[in-house]
Structure 1
Amino acid sequence: MIFREATRQDLPAVLALLADEDSVVDPARVVIGEAHERAFAAIEADPRNEMLVLTDGADGADGADGVVLGCLQLTYVPGLGQNGQERALVEAVRVRADRRGAGLGAELMRLAVERARGRGCGLVQLTSNKRRTAAHRFYERLGFARSHEGFKLHLEP
């Protein structure tokens, strides 16, 4: 397994993971819009953001280091709380539907927490949709606590 920052070449596979968490979506069928391109470029250019992937490590015909099996985004947030330490915000956690149950999600999260710790973060936080009860059990098994109630306000363009 290889855990690394995503490249532009990984974008179709990442969007495939985000498109449907209950089935495997072929990255070749993913439509990459201008907004996706802008968002990925912004993440890639921002030292406080990382789109990370876990791959099987097998070299592909195009020279890529394997099939993307999981992904997540880490955003480092400065703040005055936590004695001025940064916190890491975890978003967009996904593991391919056909590869779940083998510990890949736990490994992905372990590596992300290790990365945040190495950066000096004092806290790792995430939100999860209330309907994703299996994901909640997963995060609790990893030591995450339901310490806060989350709120969101969707803004119309």
Structure 2
Amino acid sequence: MADSSRPAPVRVDDADGAERLVAETLGIMRDLEALLGRESDHVRVGRLAEGLAEAPQKTALAGVYLQGLQAVKANAVALARFAPESIAVLREAHGRFAEVVAANQAVLATARSVSESLLRNLSAELTRNAEPKGYGSGGYGSRPAPSPYGHRRSAPLVLSRSL
């Protein structure tokens, strides 16, 4: 039984088909590259909501791009025969695109690391402030001895997703 949700495989039979496949793949790559650039720009300056607003479109474009790459791979021999110059252009564009993807991933990883660090520091501060201060082995104002069970009492951390 065939899966009707999948498009029919692209088959390149002539120079026009080869040029069309390469042009479509380059177009999708340019669209995805522009979207990744916008996302990176927003996240770099702290506008996370704007940066992540186009995630569904990014996912859709990435899927179409991967399908295009699969079609290019499946027709590699025909493309090399009918459009060798276009293949060279596609390789060069793919190299630039890989740099944009790497930069985008670095920006997102940095934002994730910073936000995790902020949350960890906030949680530690809330826990420290919530611990009772009293007389302990260190004198007035020192912290009581830790629980013999290794548990620390911490205040709940509440996040607002509307920010």
Same fold (TM over 0.5): no
Larger radius of gyration, structure 1 or 2?
2
TM-score interval w.r.t. the shorter chain? Answer: under 0.3
Q: Normalized against structure 1, the TM-score is what?
A: 0.24
Query: Whose relative contact order is higher, 1 or 2, with alpha carbons under 8 Å and at least 6 apart?
Result: 2
Bigger helix fraction: 2
The TM-score normalised by the length of structure 2 is: 0.24
Higher strand share: 1
